[in-house]
Structure 1
Amino acid sequence: MNRKDNDNQNRSRWEALESLLGTKLPALPSSEHMDLWKDTSWVGDYVQNMLEKSMPKKGMINAFQPQEEVFQTHNYVIVKINMENNSNPIVKIRADQVKIDGLRNNKSQIIRLPCHVIPHLSRASYKDGILQIKMRKKKISTAYHEVSVRYL
């Protein structure tokens, strides 16, 4: 089948689709344009280029802030932070977040927690450049408390 017959066959299929849908569709691309779309190697190059632009350069991953990992068990929230060796971190905890002072250049870091914790039941340990903070989750009361209504 030559190219002209192929174009005619595609055009008749396109017109049949238009009549089935009851609307005019955009112009059918020519065979030359369709041949251009068969080569999809440019898609891989484009995706690779975008990934390279979006990813930080090797060795530049958060040079100013240490990387943290926050996860939960049934009863605890655990935060692990990679820090420089010989760091002297100061950990401050409130119900919804952790603040770590004593980082590089006297900077601090605030980490939001996925749920509320009981600050005074928390423990922290530091070993081989990893600071681990273990915090007890705060139980949410499912009991209702009745409140009196004042009529005005």
Structure 2
Amino acid sequence: MMADKGNNNKPSQWHEIETLLGSKLPALPTSKQMDLLKDTSWIEGYVQNILEKTMPKQEVKKSVRSKAEVFETHYHVIVKTPISYENNPAVKVRTDLIKIEEMLDNKKHQLIRLPCLVIPSTARATYKEGILQIKIRKKKLNKAYREVSIRYI
């Protein structure tokens, strides 16, 4: 009986809220409409479509998946990768990454992540029988502590 009394109060409460807001509220969704709302698989496609429309189209350089072998010794990191001599490669080194650009096809480059930090200015590259080898000195970690003065305010 109490459940019936509660249901009888809902329409009047709904009407009171509509009166308070000064406009008619939409009808509650049916169970069939609720079932449609449970399937959210369409959201991913919608978001992807919006992103494609808003993001400017750019010609992205092709990044070749690295076939490089990376070795570490006590003091050096050595990278060996097969590359064609005709492509006239350019090697660029930073502390954590090597970028090999093929000059013949300037839209291709190869990125090789290094296992530790290196000193880029120490990099040396050699080419022999289709293999490009790059040797770079590791950056030493300074394990000594440095005392910092404290300013009391």
Relative to the length of structure 1, the TM-score reads: 0.53
Structure 2 residue 106 is matched with structure 1 residue 100: no
Partner of 2:135: 134
Shift of 1:66: 5.0
Superposition map of 1:1-152 within 5 A? 64-65=64-65, 67-102=67-102, 105-106=105-106, 107-151=108-152
CA contact (8 A) 1:71 1:78 kept: yes
**Unpaired runs of at least 5, structure 1:** 1-63
Q: Secondary structure at the match of 2:105?
A: helix
**Cα distance in 2 for residues equivalent to 1:137 and 1:111:** 15
Q: Could you say if the C-alpha distance between residues 93 and 132 of structure 1 is closer, same or farther in structure 2, counting changes exceeding 3 Å?
A: same
Give the partner amino acid of 2:119.
I
**Unpaired runs of at least 5, structure 2:** 1-63
Q: Could you say if the C-alpha distance between residues 66 and 143 of structure 1 is closer, same or farther in structure 2, counting changes exceeding 3 Å?
A: closer
* Higher Rg: 2
Q: Could you say if the C-alpha distance between residues 105 and 87 of structure 1 is closer, same or farther in structure 2, counting changes exceeding 3 Å?
A: closer
CA contact (8 A) 2:66 2:112 kept: no
Q: Could you say if the C-alpha distance between residues 140 and 66 of structure 1 is closer, same or farther in structure 2, counting changes exceeding 3 Å?
A: closer
Q: Could you say if the C-alpha distance between residues 72 and 103 of structure 1 is closer, same or farther in structure 2, counting changes exceeding 3 Å?
A: farther
Shift of 1:121: 1.1
Give the partner amino acid of 2:73.
T
Q: Secondary structure at the match of 1:117?
A: coil
RMSD: 2.1
Q: Deviations over 1:3-25 (max 9, x none)?
A: xxxxxxxxxxxxxxxxxxxxxxx
**Cα distance in 2 for residues equivalent to 1:105 and 1:86:** 10
**Cα distance in 2 for residues equivalent to 1:68 and 1:108:** 13
Q: Could you say if the C-alpha distance between residues 104 and 65 of structure 1 is closer, same or farther in structure 2, counting changes exceeding 3 Å?
A: farther
> How many matched pairs?
90
Give the partner amino acid of 1:133.
I
Percentage of identical aligned residues: 55
Q: Secondary structure at the match of 1:149?
A: coil
